[in-house]
Amino acid sequence: MSINQLGVIGLGTMGANVARNAARNGAKVAVYNRTTKVMTDFMKEFESEGNFAGCESYEDMMKALHGPRAFLIMVKAGPAVDAVIADLLPHLQKGDVIIDAGNSHYPDTDRRVAELKDKGIRFLGMGVSGGEVGALEGPSMMPGGDKSAWEDCKDLLSKMAADDGQGGKCVAYIGDGGSGHFVKMVHNGIEYGIMQLLAETYDVLKHVAGYTNEQLAETFSHWNEGEDLQSFLIEITAKIFEKKDDLTSGDLIDSLDDAAGQKGTGKWTTISALHYGVAIPTINAAVDARIMSGSKQLRKKHASNAVRVDLEEPIPKPEQMRTIARSALHLSTLTAYAQGFELMKVASDEHKWNLDIPECARIWLGGCIIRSVLLKQFDDLFAESQWGGEKQVNIRKFLELANARGIATPSTSAAMNYYDSLRRESLPQSLVQAQRDFFGAHTYKRTDKEGTFHADWE
């Protein structure tokens, strides 16, 4: 039973563009917004693009859609989603599908799937990535929840999704319960990590190597042509350095405040990693960096703190500096992906979601914010061919140059520390074992015998 009738609830930028995307791909789309004027304005502007029905109430929406149908919710995550579901429920028929396509927290999606199943309503929690352009032209979509609902919506969602560049579409059934929103959450965590790594690269090139915005634009544009860094985020970063400020005679980047906002998905990723016992330091450092950027009063208080640096070592020539920075960005970006995939794997094992990690990487190849050529090699992120040569020397050199000049590189440093922790046969937490046993009799394990032990340290 293929569903080709869709009710879209919430006509903000993303909701409006998803509705237009569905209509362009042959669906009948009934649109509703709590503020009626938003709906009427939408109809005036886009009615000619497809088979739309403007609705002032849920009753109108039910009259507009007949036969197999799905209702796609595009409102702010949290209580607003529950409120829409509660208002919508009295009008639904058994077998109807609700799709929550916002950035809901995956435990909420778990709960909604179970609650609605008891009422005969099928529920999908679907992560959507691609921003406003992707929502219209083809996003990456990560649906999880009721599998029969996916089967019925599969044709429409596949038409709406981005191409993966390999003959497929950037949408796939993720798994039971809240798995779709979990994968989208991790996607956003990786996004935080990569964006911070790009910011640190920019900082070092500008304040160590003295690059101008023009040189930065050319550098990132050049990197976007390579097989090691080509990605959406590199592409837009190059364009950012080219943008002139309409209000001044300078470049827009130089007039922007440095406090970066966040909507919570990065924090949720960090909390989830702590819960599942997975180390994601590159991502965690990026979340901390955004928090630090917004800690204006604290930073102002310490702005005059003394900095002692060693500037005896000469700065590499511009071309050499670009090579060093490229290596650092490449290798550290690999760790952001690797940490996200490991978190997905461990959570999948705990919840028995049976996540297909290669498939998750594939559907991120197009449409989404973290699309990159690096996703094609997701299963070999720590290959000797990448980490065993000059690139590893370069990332260490990058960190030395930054640290010697007092420039913070939290995510790049975390990435290097992550790799160094992975490769060590023995870590110094043997001392932590001893300390815990010393003051708390927590016991310890040995390398030469099985079992647990306790020592009289005094």
Active-site residue 352, yes or no?
A: no
Mean pLDDT of 183-199: 97
Alpha helix (H) residue ranges in 89-173: 106-118, 131-137, 147-160
**In this model, does residue 226 exceed pLDDT 80?**
yes
User: Which residues have CB under 8 Å from 141's CB, separation 6+?
Assistant: 101, 126, 127, 128, 129, 157, 160, 161, 170, 171, 363, 367
**What is residue 378's predicted lDDT score, i.e. its pLDDT?**
79
Considering 191, 200, 391, 397, which one is annotated as catalytic?
191
What share of the chain in percent tops pLDDT 90?
A: 87
Going by pLDDT thresholds of 50, 70 and 90, the confidence category of residue 11 is very high
Residue keyed to tokens 């497809």: 50
What pLDDT does 114 receive? 94
345 is a catalytic site residue: no
Give alpha helix (H) positions in 280-428: 281-294, 296-301, 318-351, 357-363, 384-387, 390-403, 410-423
Query: What's the CA gap between 375 and 353, in Å, rounded?
Result: 21
Residue 296 has pLDDT above 90, yes or no: no
CA-CA distance, 284 to 291, in Å (whole number)?
Answer: 11
Return the pLDDT at 206: 96
Provide the pairing of β-strand 444-445 with 452-453: antiparallel
Q: How confident is the model at residue 294 (pLDDT cuts 50, 70, 90)?
A: confident
In eight-state DSSP terms, residue 245 is P
What's the pLDDT score for residue 218? 97
Query: In angstroms, rounded to a whole number, what is the distance separating the alpha carbons of residues 33 and 18?
Result: 14
Residue corresponding to tokens 């590893």: 392
Q: What is the pTM of this model?
A: 0.94
pLDDT-based confidence at 392, cuts 50/70/90?
A: very high
Angle at 170 between CA 42 and CA 160, to 5 degrees: 30
The SS3 call for residue 73 is strand
For residue 308, pLDDT beyond 90: no
Q: Which of 184, 200, 391, 397 is catalytic?
A: 184
In this model, does residue 313 exceed pLDDT 80?
no
Place of tokens 């960190």: 399
Q: What is the pLDDT of residues 243-292, one digit of tens each?
A: 999 999 899 999 998 888 877 789 999 999 999 999 999 999 999 999 98
Strands 122-129 and 140-145: antiparallel
The rounded distance, in Å, linking the Cα atoms of 97 and 2 is: 12
